[in-house]
């Protein structure tokens, strides 16, 4: 019921009128010419309200200003009151529209183009300051036209600009968090970790106390340095989380400096306000750069992760195709053997017995060759009894024919791992055995596999070590022919260390090679990463954060 009521257009318009009027009347008494805090409210409405609400907002703004115009009509004249009825929002609407549409102020719901935002802030502040000056020039006091001091012109511009810069980042952060799709618990933890860290609060508090003490116990020139000291920790904080840290520290620093100003010395206030505007602008510019760089690094990381995920999927798809091809080849080999036996049974009485036996031996040899080819592609032990059987039996059979002793030890469960990591373990084991035998004439191979679990997935440690035993060196040198056939029996391509390292990195792992006293050892650490949907981020520009 509430959702259906809110979806009605007139309900939203009524909520805009009531919300703006209440907020405007609540903060109007605290607004001054030097610190017009109603300016950020009006500016935020123009930035975030859809264009269809602008005519209504201009009318509401006119109604909100009519109270002051009516109260001061006897004091400043009817002409001044009429100029006050011109809503400030209507004057700045073309400027805000141009920044939103032409300068791409909001590239997405989570990004802000700070260059466009600063341009829009300066343009709107100038427009509202010019309107205030023209309105003031139309006022009469005791029958004389009001003369506006020249110093009020830059003071009004700086006041509006500083209040917008001081308060708008908080509005942007609230908007970003409201539109974020992350769980609010994670957002709170992230904000507390980045912005509300103990060192951040301690630095801000200690600096504020020092600045206040320096202001009270120093001469006039030293007091100017206290204003600079108020923003030094903000510059350091900006280097951590970016422009959000500048907002966290910048607004309290601006309020602190504003509370120390002496309003009876307008020239000094102008200098201080200009300094504040310059420093805060630089800090937000630096923060936007840092945030954009962080977003770019995060985007690069996600792109790399997505590329690795696609590569893992392609690897798994190729393994699936090899498995299906091996199964089809085994079925074809079995069917061919059956056909040959049926044919030989028919011609058994026609051909001599020796020739029939020769044909039987050829058929058996062909079937054995098919079986070896199937096992080199995708071992039958792997298909029937799992990865452990392939590591214990298939590799052992191939090494036994090459007169190489083999020992395999597996610690930890392998059934919980994904098929992709199963294929990676077996292929790396076969390639490592082939690589070690290509580097030295070893007499024994030791293979070890160990697995474990973490919060993000499973890890697997694979170690293949080849040794040369002096007592078996003659047998190892004699069986070189069988060793040359080892690669084809294991389905290995003879990859080098670089290719093996890249294969391990595909699964978030690393390869370490070590030459031992009498052999060679290859150690892998693989991570069975849980595939998660990739986040889609807009590539940020240098001024976008």
Confidence at residue 135, expressed as pLDDT on a 0 to 100 scale = 81
Instruction: Identify the domain boundary among 181, 214, 244.
Output: 181
Confidence at residue 360, expressed as pLDDT on a 0 to 100 scale = 76
In a domain, 175, yes or no: yes
Instruction: Identify the domain boundary among 150, 181, 212.
Output: 181
In a domain, 168, yes or no: yes
Residue 532, burial from CB neighbour count under 10 angstroms (0-12, 13-18, 19+):
exposed
Confidence at residue 399, expressed as pLDDT on a 0 to 100 scale = 86
Residue 157 sits in which domain range? 1-181
Confidence at residue 264, expressed as pLDDT on a 0 to 100 scale = 47
Residues 6+ apart with CB under 8 A from 85: 62, 65, 66, 69
SS3 127: helix
In a domain, 106, yes or no: yes
In a domain, 128, yes or no: yes
Confidence at residue 544, expressed as pLDDT on a 0 to 100 scale = 57
Q: For the chain, how many structural domains are there in total?
A: 2
Confidence at residue 171, expressed as pLDDT on a 0 to 100 scale = 84
Whole-angstrom Cα distance, residue 445 to residue 443? Answer: 7
Q: How far is CA 8 from CA 12, 51, 58, 150, 289, in A?
A: 7, 17, 21, 49, 41
In a domain, 433, yes or no: yes
In a domain, 259, yes or no: no
Residuewise pLDDT in 10s, the chain (545 residues): 455 665 676 777 788 788 888 888 888 877 776 778 888 889 999 998 888 889 888 888 888 888 777 777 777 778 878 888 888 888 899 999 999 998 888 887 777 888 888 899 999 999 998 888 888 778 776 666 776 776 777 888 888 888 888 888 888 877 877 777 666 667 666 665 555 555 555 555 655 666 666 556 555 555 555 566 666 666 666 666 667 766 666 676 676 666 666 554 455 567 777 877 887 787 778 777 877 887 888 888 888 888 888 888 888 888 888 888 888 888 887 787 787 777 777 776 677 777 777 777 777 777 777 777 877 788 888 888 888 888 888 888 888 888 888 999 988 888 888 888 888 898 899 888 888 888 877 888 999 999 888 777 788 999 999 888 765 554 544 455 556 677 778 888 888 889 899 888 888 888 999 888 888 899 999 888 655 444 444 445 555 56
pTM for the full model?
0.65
Confidence at residue 522, expressed as pLDDT on a 0 to 100 scale = 92
Residue 519 has φ and ψ, to the nearest 5°, of 180, -160
CATH at 500: 3.30.565.10
Instruction: Identify the domain boundary among 181, 197, 221.
Output: 181
Residues 180/110, Cβ–Cβ less than 8 Å: yes
Residues 122/192, Cβ–Cβ less than 8 Å: no
Beta-carbon count within 10 A of 196 CB: 11
Confidence at residue 534, expressed as pLDDT on a 0 to 100 scale = 47
Residues 540/299, Cβ–Cβ less than 8 Å: yes
In a domain, 417, yes or no: yes
In a domain, 122, yes or no: yes
């Amino acid at each position: 019921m509430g959702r259906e009521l809110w979806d009605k257009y007139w309900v939203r318009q009524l909520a805009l009128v009531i919300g703006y009027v209440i907020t405007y009347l609540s903060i109007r008494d605290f607004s001054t010419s030097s610190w017009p805090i109603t300016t950020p409210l009006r500016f935020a409405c123009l930035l975030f309200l859809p264009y269809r609400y602008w005519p209504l907002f201009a009318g509401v703004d006119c109604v909100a200003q009519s109270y002051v115009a009516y109260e001061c009509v006897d004091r400043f004249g009817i002409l001044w009151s009429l100029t006050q009825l011109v809503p400030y929002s209507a004057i700045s609407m073309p400027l805000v529209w141009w920044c939103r549409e032409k300068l791409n102020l909001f590239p997405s719901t989570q990004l802000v183009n700070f260059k466009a935002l600063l341009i829009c802030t300066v343009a709107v502040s100038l427009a509202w300051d010019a309107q205030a000056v023209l309105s003031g020039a139309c006022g009469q006091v005791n029958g004389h036209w009001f003369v506006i001091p020249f110093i009020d012109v830059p003071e009004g511009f700086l006041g509006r600009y500083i209040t917008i810069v001081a308060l708008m980042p908080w509005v942007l952060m609230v908007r970003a968090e409201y539109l974020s799709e992350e769980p609010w618990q994670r957002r709170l933890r992230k904000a507390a970790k980045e912005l509300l860290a103990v060192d951040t609060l301690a630095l801000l508090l200690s600096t504020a106390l020092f600045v206040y003490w320096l202001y009270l116990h120093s001469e006039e020139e030293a007091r100017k340095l206290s204003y600079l000291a108020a923003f030094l920790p903000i510059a350091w904080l900006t280097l951590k989380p970016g422009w959000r840290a500048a907002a966290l520290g910048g607004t309290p620093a601006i309020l602190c400096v504003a509370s120390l100003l002496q309003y009876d010395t307008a020239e000094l206030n102008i200098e201080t306000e200009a300094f504040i505007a310059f420093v805060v602008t630089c800090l937000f510019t630096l923060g936007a750069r840092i945030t954009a760089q962080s977003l770019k690094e995060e985007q690069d990381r996600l792109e790399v992760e997505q590329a690795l995920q696609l590569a893992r999927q392609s690897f798994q798809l190729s393994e699936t195709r090899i498995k299906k091809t091996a199964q089809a080849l085994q079925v074809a080999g079995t069917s061919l053997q059956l056909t040959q036996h049926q044919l030989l049974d028919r011609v058994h009485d026609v051909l001599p017995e020796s020739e029939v036996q020769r044909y039987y031996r050829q058929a058996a040899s062909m079937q054995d060759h098919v079986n070896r080819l199937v096992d080199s592609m995708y071992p039958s032990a792997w298909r029937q009894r799992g990865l452990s059987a392939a590591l214990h039996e298939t590799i052992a059979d191939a090494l036994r024919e090459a007169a190489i002793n083999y020992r395999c030890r597996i610690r930890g469960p392998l059934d919980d791992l994904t098929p992709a990591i199963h294929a990676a373990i077996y292929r790396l084991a076969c390639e490592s055995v082939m690589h070690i035998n290509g580097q030295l004439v070893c007499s024994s191979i030791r293979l070890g596999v160990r697995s474990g679990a973490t919060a993000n997935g499973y890890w697997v440690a694979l170690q293949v070590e080849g040794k040369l035993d002096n007592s078996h060196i003659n047998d190892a040198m004699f069986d070189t022919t069988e060793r040359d056939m080892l690669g084809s029996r294991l389905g290995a391509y003879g990859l080098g260390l670089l290719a093996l390292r890249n294969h391990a990195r595909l699964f978030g792992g690393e390869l370490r090679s070590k030459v031992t006293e009498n052999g060679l050892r290859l150690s892998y650490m693989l991570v069975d990463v849980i595939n998660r949907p990739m986040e889609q981020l807009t590539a940020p520009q240098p001024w976008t954060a």
